[in-house]
């Protein structure tokens, strides 16, 4: 079975541009988690969904960040406008109960 699929794997863009990260859940999973990993803060949870409904978005750093689940198998994380301090590796993970299964991440660089 395919795992969690994230795209793109790498994104380099200029400050002020809109960035959209994509995630495809494992079939049958009903929970979706977006994480950000940085040297300073480690692996931090941004937002998570259960059955397509956002449960906790308290980790979303600012209004510039938004996440959606347009259907049960797909999610997007959007940053608009992007800033250099948003540079990090962004992971999504899906689960049905435990454990969570992670994608390989998107390495985002904002110049």
Partner 1 sequence: DQQVKQNSPSLSVQEGRISILNCDYTNSMFDYFLWYKKYPAEGPTFLISISSIKDKNEDGRFTVFLNKSAKHLSLHIVPSQPGDSAVYFCAASKIRGSTLGRLYFGRGTQLTVWP
Closer residue to partner 1, CB minimum distance, 105 or 110: 105
Number of shown-chain residues binding partner 1 (CB under 8 A): 22
Tokens 């395919």 locate to: 2
Instruction: Name beta bridge partners: 56.
Output: 48
The residues in 17-76 that bind partner 1, with binding defined as CB under 8 A, are: 31, 33, 42-43, 45, 48, 50, 55-56
Q: Do strands 106-110 and 10-13 pair parallel, antiparallel, or not at all (unpaired)?
A: parallel
| Binding site residues, partner 1, CB under 8 A | 4, 31, 33, 42-43, 45, 48, 50, 55-56, 91, 93, 95, 97-105
């Amino acid at each position: 079975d395919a795992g969690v699929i994230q795209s793109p794997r790498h994104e380099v863009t200029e400050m002020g541009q809109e960035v959209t990260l994509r995630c495809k859940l494992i079939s049958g999973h009903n929970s979706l988690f977006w994480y950000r990993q940085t040297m300073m803060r480690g692996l931090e949870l941004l937002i998570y969904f259960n059955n397509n409904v956002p449960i906790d978005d308290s980790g979303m750093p600012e209004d510039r960040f938004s996440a959606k689940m347009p259907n049960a198998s797909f999610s997007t994380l959007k940053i608009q406008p992007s800033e250099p301090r948003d540079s990090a590796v962004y992971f999504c993970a899906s689960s049905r109960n435990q454990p969570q299964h992670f994608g390989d991440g998107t390495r985002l660089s904002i110049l």
